[in-house]
Amino acid sequence: MVLVKLITPKKINDLCHFFARRRMIRLSLSVILIAFFFPAFSQDNSPYTRYGLGDIVPSTNINGRGMGGISAGYNDFLSINFNNPASYGSFQAVRELKSKKLLYGRAILDLGLNIENRTLIDPRITGKFTSSNALFSHLQVGVPLKANWGLSFGLRPMSRISYRLIKRERLFDSNSGLPIDSSITTNEGDGGTFLASAGIGHRITINEKQSISFGVNGGYMFGKKDYSARRALVNDTVEYTSGNFQTKTTYGNLYFNGGLQYQAQLDSSVFITFGAYGNIKQTLNGSQDIIRETFFYDANGGNVRIDSVSESKGVKGKIEYPSSFTAGFTIQRIPDNKKGGWLIGVDFSQSNWKDYRFYGQSDSVQNKWELRVGGELRPSLSSARKSYFGNVAYRAGFFFGPDYVKVKEKLPVLGVTFGLGLPIRNYNRLSPGQATMVNLAFEYIKRGNNNNLLKENMFRISAGFSLSDFWFVRKKYE
């Protein structure tokens, strides 16, 4: 006799979600590995990363970057706005009308990668320097805990340090003014800051047309700064040993920020959302190794120490990370069968970098403000049924303001952006709730002008992948 074990609809449903979650976990682990291995293959070289905590990387997801970087009043149930944790309360969760029990919720895996090309231009000469890199942007997971409650956690970079400058010069005797020797000095910097965080958001319905949301993110901010200056004297008759002046610093501590959003329905299809988020000044704990040594260069082993002139390890200190605040709004029209949808948003941000201190020392930085403007267009639902491009979201925007780095003169920044939201058709019949979006952002950024020591032009292509599926489905079969 052959025994046949029936597979009930409940078991099929459980299997579908089991494999969907495994896929999300494997993809998450892969992106975490990319986050730490991509910098090893990058060719970035920007002297401006020498100051403060380095070059501030884009803080928004790929959706927002295509719209000039807006985020204060933005939320989307297929992506994660990790800047404003109040948006977590808008994660898709459907509940039963009578019992109010959760029927299902949509989990989201949102990740992004960047490819950048930078061109440094010295206004005083005709030469220029170009470098490229590929870097991890963010990895974020969002799940609805229940209706109007959302949880999100992930990892993203906050800043990046990457430069290498070589200076060749002739040394002169300070008394006689006669030339002595030639020297080659190599200044290098490496490091950056990461944030691993988790946050929760809650939306409260005021009435049928109004709601208010609150949220908070908490996590651990950590990073490193490794600066070195290596000098070698060049002489035809006398051999000198080379000197290395190096300071390695690691730092980290808890980090918190909070946000809110207020949404009102203006008519049947138009909504306005006001949002704000920010953080107070945070203190990071540092540990520093100060190395002064002589060395020689070996073709096989690199720099080899000859003698330690002085060395101090584990020097404790504090890094003051500044407070920041962002406020803005979006006005959005939901597409219907006859008319398309649109979104317009404006953000203003302020960061108090004058409060920045590194082991009690200030740096060539200043307070930073930025104005961001962007929008999105979506075709009508009737167009969406006719062609693929009727399902695409088209985005554009711009931003401007002074950079937080100030070397003699202010460093103006201007950027223009364009983006696309490309849906991927779901061919998995066993899991009809799956939804995948590929978000692309193209940014052209100019930093500096002829009054600055260096101008920097950058073109960045960002690709974001938003994968979502039903995370929880209430049992219908036993």
CA atoms of 416 and 400, how far apart (whole Å): 9
- Total number of residues shown for the chain: 478
pLDDT at 131: 85
Classify 81 as helix, strand or coil: coil
Classify 64 as helix, strand or coil: helix
Q: Quick one: tokens of 248?
A: 């390695």
Q: Closest Cα partner for 467 from 149, 107, 3, 51? A: 107
The listed range with the strongest mean pLDDT (125-134, 135-144, 164-173) is 135-144
pLDDT at 180: 72
Higher pLDDT, 187 or 199: 199
Decide if pLDDT at 37 tops 70.
no
DSSP-assigned letters across all residues of 272-338: EEEEEEEE--EEEEEEEEEEEEEEEEETTTEEEEEEEEEEEEEEEEEEEEPPEEEEEEEEEE---SS
Classify 98 as helix, strand or coil: coil
Among 63-67, 230-234, 300-304, 379-383, the minimum mean pLDDT is found in 300-304
Pairing label, strands 210-234, 55-56: unpaired
Of the pLDDT bands very low, low, confident and very high (cuts 50, 70, 90), residue 15 is very low
- Return the H-helix or E-strand segment holding 167: strand 149-172
> At a CB cut-off of 8 Å and minimum separation 6, what does 281 contact?
320, 321, 322, 323, 352, 355
Classify 75 as helix, strand or coil: coil
Pairing label, strands 128-146, 102-121: antiparallel
Q: Closest Cα partner for 359 from 248, 228, 245, 194? A: 248
Q: Closest Cα partner for 52 from 310, 411, 325, 372? A: 411
pLDDT at 99: 47
Class of domain 9-473: mainly beta
pLDDT tens per residue, range 376-434: 999 887 777 788 888 899 999 999 999 999 988 899 999 999 999 999 877 666 566 67
Higher pLDDT, 459 or 477: 459
- Average pLDDT value for residue range 57-63: 91
Decide if pLDDT at 225 tops 90.
yes
Which sequence spans correspond to the domains of the chain?
9-473
Higher pLDDT, 470 or 224: 224
Percent of the chain with pLDDT over 90: 51
CA atoms of 265 and 272, how far apart (whole Å): 7
> At a CB cut-off of 8 Å and minimum separation 6, what does 453 contact?
122, 407, 408
Classify 30 as helix, strand or coil: helix
Beta bridge partner(s), residue 397:
374, 417
Decide if pLDDT at 462 tops 90.
yes
pLDDT at 166: 83
pLDDT tens per residue, range 285-329: 999 999 888 877 776 766 777 777 888 899 999 999 999 999 999
Decide if pLDDT at 42 tops 70.
no
pLDDT at 216: 97
Decide if pLDDT at 120 tops 50.
yes
pLDDT at 428: 64
Among 43-47, 64-68, 321-325, the minimum mean pLDDT is found in 43-47
Higher pLDDT, 153 or 434: 153
Q: Average model confidence (pLDDT) for the chain?
A: 83
pLDDT at 2: 39
Pairing label, strands 282-298, 179-207: unpaired
Indicate the pTM of the whole model: 0.84
- Average pLDDT value for residue range 15-35: 48
pLDDT at 160: 92
Q: Closest Cα partner for 135 from 151, 105, 159? A: 159
DSSP-assigned letter for residue 446: E
Check if the beta carbon of residue 331 is closer than 8 Å to that of residue 348.
no
Decide if pLDDT at 144 tops 60.
yes
DSSP-assigned letters across all residues of 385-421: HH-GGGG-EEEEEEEEEE-SB-BSB--EEEEEEEEEE
Among 200-209, 225-234, 324-333, 357-366, the minimum mean pLDDT is found in 225-234
Decide if pLDDT at 355 tops 50.
yes
Other CB atoms within a 10 A radius of the CB of residue 168 amount to 9
